[in-house]
Every structure is written in structure tokens, then in C-alpha cells.
């Protein structure tokens, strides 16, 4: 047996995650991913007014709050029979576009970059740029005062770490600039979303913020500033790193995984919903030379609890699931369930979406020899950010024209009251991947609520068929020459942008009530 190494907590992610790897001959031989926190949100929703669901489930995750709200209100829209007016959809999309842009910037600079750069290279900067010299002085000052928290301690840089002083110094400056930029992107979304984090104005039937021209103008002005940063800083940084010093990591395909990809699709670009920013689809066993995309069918989703701290049950569709805690269950190692599509584990997220869309920019990278893995995931995020900027401009124009139409509407007022009975599914794409919420309403209250979230797909444990989850599989073969310095392990895990609080859910352990759902 190889040496067992556990990284717990995995940091710079949202939530509580532990990763254990078995290392043999300097490489990962096996891996286990474990979610270590639960709050019981679905359980506490039972018996509540259904309209509470979008507010509560936003708190699944404080990073990607709004996508939960969206998946939730889409499930509610379906259950209530609400038809969201195009104006309401545009307001939702404008709020959501901002969310993606902020989230991708934050992930690249603040959650991931420190895995790839040797930050102390800043001390060797010899250029003349005034800002960068101020930064150098700052870092040298921190080192001299022996207080470099939170930038240290860190895993030791390895042969893949970027240590070119110019490149590292400007990256660290961009890290700081990006802090302001992600905050501004969130404020932009809040123009229509209400307070952030945790939007307040996205409700069943539409949106509560009646727009005016000034709001759109303000949004566009903020969008201009963010677009400048994305086009002139973020995308060039990802390109410079991905096709430069990190290209060896891209070519070796570090962190590949199962090569199965799935997108539920999201963000309509037109009134009829014909064109989407993210199309839906499934790829089974990627062949980069000939990508075959199948259509997505929600009926093919099942969840396994074999290795979760839940009562034993066969894999079932989320509508039919039961989740009863069993903290002493033998062989279990996580609070995360194991969703499968046609029985297979899937990767969800930006890489999956851009592969399903056969995005030309990503295809260009693949042609250059980049294999799906950590670097491709970062590249896919940057590509998406650009797509979303374009979409946000388009939605601004569409809203301006829609606002002047007689009978302009933002909300379906006729379907705001909960039905006696109803059920609905809400599918969406979170920045980190495919997201689904399911609700059943009875006597105007929530009878059952279920969520299968992106990190459940990616961070899932093994299932009956022994397929590893996507995190686990993507770690296999990763070089870890020094077991005390498993830097590649955290590079791989963070490339998925984990979001663990939302991956963990449960239903009332006291009542042990069996949840029956019927799929229409």
C-alpha cells in the first residue's frame, strides 16, 4: 500500500472538504473526497411557504448564491404555473450575468492563482513600473517584519510554479486589482438583484425591481469598466500563463478525470429561448477530434448513497430519493451523495459547458495540444467571462427596448400565491456547473425539496458500480513527488472551483419519512 496523505481542510474553496490520496512511486494511486459539514436545509424547508425556498436555498452557498435562487425560482415557476414575462427574464439575466463574471474573476485570482505562482519572486522584480515597485516594497516589508500572512505558509513551489519576477509581480498586482473588480461586478448585479451577497429581488414569477433608464445606464457604465479589466488583464493573464509556463501542465492533462461532461443549459439570449449562452448537452467519453454531444434528459439522473452517511438505498432519481442520516454507517466517508447520469459520473462546470458548446476558442487550445484538465478549466472560465460580457450588453439593449413597450411587465402577478398542489424542477448552470432543484407543494406548503448541485456531481464519492467521483478520478496519476507537499492535489481540486456547503443535504432524520416523487 502506498503512503496515505490527507489534505483537510482543503482551503480557498467554499465549504468544508477533505481529500485523502494514496501515493505510490510519486503518483496518486487512489483518492477519496469527503464533505464534512451538513446543515439540513432541505429538511427545514418542509412545511414552509414555498416562496421561502429561493431565499433559504440562496444560503446553500455565499459565493454562488444567486444561481441557487434562480434554480429555486425556476422550480417554483413550474410548480406555481407562473409564466415569467420577458422583462422579468431580462432582469434576472442581468443580475445573473454579473454573478458569473465576479465568480470567475474571484476564482482565478483569489482562489487559484496562489497554487501556480511563487509569490516570493516579487522580491526579485527589477523593472521600472511604479506600481509594481510599490508592490515589491510592500512584499519585502512583509517578509522583513516576518508577517506574510495570509500569503504564507504555503506548499513549496514546484517545477511547474511560475517564478519569473515580472510575470509574478504583475499577477500579484492583478490579484489586488481583481479584488476591487469582483466587488464592482457584484454591485453591478445588485442594481437588479437587490442586496448582495444573497439577492433579494428574484422571486417566483419574475423580479421585484421595476427598472428605469438610469439603472440600465449605471449597469452599462459598470460593465464597461469590468469589460476593460477582463479584456486587458484577466484574459491576457490566463492566456499568458496557460500557453506559457503552465502549458506543460496543460499538455500532460493534469486533473483530467472521467472525460464525461454535462451541461443543463442556461441564460436565454432571446424571447423564445431559442439561443442560450450555455447550451445543454452530454458528452460520454470525450474524443477531442470528434466531439459527440447527446441531448440532456433529466430522467436519466440518479443519486447513490452507498458511500454517504445516509441510510442504505438503491440509486434513485432525485424525485424519488430518501435521505436519512446514518452517521455510523460502515464504509461511508462523506455527506455528499453520488449523482450519476445513465449510471455514469459526470464533470460539470465551465470546461463541460464549453466542450458541449464546442466553443471555438477552447477548440483552438485543444488543437494546440492542451488536454482537458486543470489548465483547460481555467481557460474555459476566461472564455465564458467574455461570452457573458457580450450577453450582458445584449440584455441591456433588449431591456431598454422592452421597457418602452406598452404593457411592459416584470412579474407574473396572477401566479404569486402558492398552489394547493404542484411540483416542478428548476435546472440552471452555476458558475461551477449543472444545478437542479426539485420541489413538491401540497396544501400550499413545501412537501419535499431536493437539490443536486454542481459540487455534488464533481465531489461525489464512489457509487455501486465503484466509479470514483470526478474529483477522485481526476487525481489518479497526478505527480506528488513529495508527500509532504501535495501541491498538485490542491491544484486539481481547486480547478473545479469547489463549493461544498451546497453539496451536502439531508432530509429530516427524526421522521425517517420516505419521500415519494412522481416525475411528470
Partner 1 sequence: MSGLFGDISRRDFMKYCASTAAVLGLSEIEFVSKVSEALAASSSKPPVVWLEGQDCAGCTISLAGALNPPVSKIILDKLSIRYHETIMASAGYLAEATLEETIKAGGHVLCVEGSIPTADDRFCMVGGRPFREILEESAEKASVIIAVGACATYGGIPAAGPTKGVGVGKIVKDKPVINLSTCPVHCDHLVGSILYYLATKTAPELDRYGRPRLYFNELVHDNCRRRYYFDEGYFLTDWNDPKQKNWCLYEKGCKGPDTYADCPVRQWNDGLNFCIDCGAGCMGCSEPSFYDGMSPLYTAESERSKNIMARKKAGLIPPKEKA
Catalytic residues: 14, 61, 64, 68, 432, 455, 499, 502
Cα angle 286-292-297, degrees, rounded to a multiple of 5: 100
Residue 42 or 347 with smaller CB distance to partner 1: 42
Minimum gap (Å) between residue 313 Cβ and partner 1: 18
Residue 98 or 355 with smaller CB distance to partner 1: 98
Sheet bearing 17-24, strands edge to edge: 3-7, 17-24, 27-35
Cα angle 266-346-235, degrees, rounded to a multiple of 5: 55
Minimum gap (Å) between residue 207 Cβ and partner 1: 8
Minimum gap (Å) between residue 311 Cβ and partner 1: 14
Strand-pairing partners, residue 433, are 430
What is the H or E stretch that residue 393 is in? helix 374-403
Cβ count within 10 A of residue 287: 10
Residue 119 or 352 with smaller CB distance to partner 1: 119
Alpha-carbon separation of residue 306 from 148, 186, 207, 208, 516 (angstroms): 44, 39, 40, 43, 19
Residue 144 or 274 with smaller CB distance to partner 1: 144
| HSE, side-chain direction, 13 A CA sphere, residue 467 | 24
DSSP 107: I
Cis peptide before 89 (omega within 30 of 0): no
Minimum gap (Å) between residue 133 Cβ and partner 1: 10
Minimum gap (Å) between residue 178 Cβ and partner 1: 10
Query: If we measure between CA atoms, which residue out of 465, 434, 471, 426 comes closest to residue 336?
Result: 471
Would you state the cell numbers that stand for residue 501, as one nine-digit string?
A: 456547503
Q: Would you list the DSSP string of 285-332?
A: S--TTS---BPP-GGGEEEE-TTBSB-----B-GGG----B-TT-TT-
DSSP 109: I
Residue 111 or 365 with smaller CB distance to partner 1: 111
Minimum gap (Å) between residue 322 Cβ and partner 1: 15
Residue 131 or 390 with smaller CB distance to partner 1: 131
Amino acid at each position: 500500500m502506498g503512503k496515505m496523505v490527507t489534505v483537510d481542510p482543503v482551503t480557498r474553496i467554499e465549504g468544508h472538504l477533505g481529500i485523502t490520496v494514496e501515493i505510490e512511486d510519486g503518483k496518486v494511486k487512489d483518492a477519496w473526497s469527503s464533505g464534512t459539514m451538513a446543515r439540513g436545509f432541505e429538511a427545514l424547508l418542509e412545511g414552509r411557504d414555498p416562496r421561502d425556498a429561493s431565499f433559504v436555498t440562496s444560503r446553500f452557498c455565499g459565493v454562488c448564491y444567486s444561481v441557487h435562487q434562480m434554480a429555486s425560482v425556476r422550480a417554483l415557476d413550474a410548480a406555481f404555473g407562473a409564466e415569467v414575462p420577458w422583462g422579468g427574464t431580462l432582469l434576472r439575466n442581468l443580475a445573473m450575468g454579473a454573478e458569473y463574471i465576479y465568480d470567475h474573476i474571484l476564482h482565478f485570482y483569489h482562489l487559484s492563482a496562489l497554487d501556480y505562482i511563487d509569490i516570493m519572486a516579487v522580491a526579485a522584480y527589477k523593472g521600472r513600473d511604479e506600481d509594481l515597485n510599490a508592490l515589491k516594497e510592500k512584499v519585502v516589508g512583509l517578509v522583513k517584519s516576518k508577517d506574510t500572512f495570509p500569503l504564507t505558509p504555503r506548499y513549496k513551489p514546484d517545477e511547474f510554479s511560475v517564478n519569473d519576477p515580472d510575470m509574478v509581480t504583475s499577477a500579484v498586482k492583478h490579484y489586488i486589482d481583481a479584488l476591487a473588480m469582483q466587488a464592482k461586478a457584484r454591485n453591478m448585479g445588485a442594481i437588479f438583484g437587490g442586496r448582495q451577497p444573497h439577492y433579494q429581488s428574484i422571486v417566483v414569477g419574475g423580479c421585484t425591481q421595476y427598472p428605469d433608464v438610469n439603472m440600465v445606464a449605471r449597469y452599462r457604465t459598470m460593465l464597461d469598466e469590468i469589460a476593460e479589466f477582463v479584456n486587458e488583464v484577466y484574459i491576457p493573464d490566463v492566456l499568458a500563463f496557460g500557453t506559457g509556463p503552465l502549458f506543460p501542465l496543460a499538455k500532460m492533462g493534469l486533473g483530467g478525470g472521467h472525460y464525461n461532461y454535462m451541461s443543463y443549459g442556461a441564460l436565454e439570449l432571446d424571447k423564445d429561448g431559442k439561443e442560450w449562452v450555455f447550451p445543454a448537452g452530454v458528452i460520454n467519453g470525450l474524443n477531442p477530434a470528434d466531439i459527440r454531444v447527446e441531448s440532456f434528459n433529466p430522467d436519466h439522473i440518479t443519486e447513490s448513497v452507498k458511500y454517504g452517511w445516509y441510510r442504505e438505498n438503491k440509486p434513485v432519481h432525485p424525485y424519488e430519493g430518501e435521505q436519512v442520516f446514518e452517521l455510523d454507517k460502515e464504509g461511508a466517508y462523506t455527506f455528499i451523495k453520488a449523482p450519476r447520469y445513465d449510471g455514469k459520473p459526470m464533470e460539470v462546470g465551465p470546461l463541460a459547458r464549453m466542450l458541449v458548446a464546442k466553443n471555438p476558442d477552447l477548440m483552438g487550445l485543444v488543437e494546440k495540444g492542451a488536454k482537458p484538465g486543470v489548465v483547460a478549466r481555467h481557460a474555459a472560465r476566461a472564455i465564458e467571462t467574455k461570452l457573458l460580457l457580450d450577453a450582458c450588453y445584449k440584455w441591456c439593449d433588449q431591456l431598454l427596448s422592452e421597457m418602452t413597450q406598452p404593457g411592459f411587465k416584470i412579474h407574473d402577478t396572477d401566479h404569486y400565491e402558492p398552489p394547493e398542489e404542484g411540483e416542478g424542477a428548476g435546472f440552471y448552470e452555476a458558475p461551477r456547473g449543472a444545478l437542479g432543484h426539485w420541489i413538491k407543494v401540497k396544501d400550499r406548503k413545501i412537501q419535499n425539496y431536493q437539490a443536486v448541485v454542481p459540487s455534488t456531481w464533481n465531489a461525489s464519492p464512489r457509487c455501486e458500480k465503484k466509479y470514483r467521483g470526478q474529483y477522485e478520478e481526476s487525481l489518479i496519476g497526478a505527480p506528488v513527488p513529495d508527500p509532504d507537499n501535495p501541491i498538485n492535489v490542491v491544484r486539481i481540486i481547486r480547478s473545479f472551483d469547489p463549493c461544498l456547503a451546497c453539496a451536502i443535504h439531508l432530509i429530516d432524520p427524526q421522521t425517517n419519512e420516505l419521500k415519494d416523487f412522481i416525475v411528470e
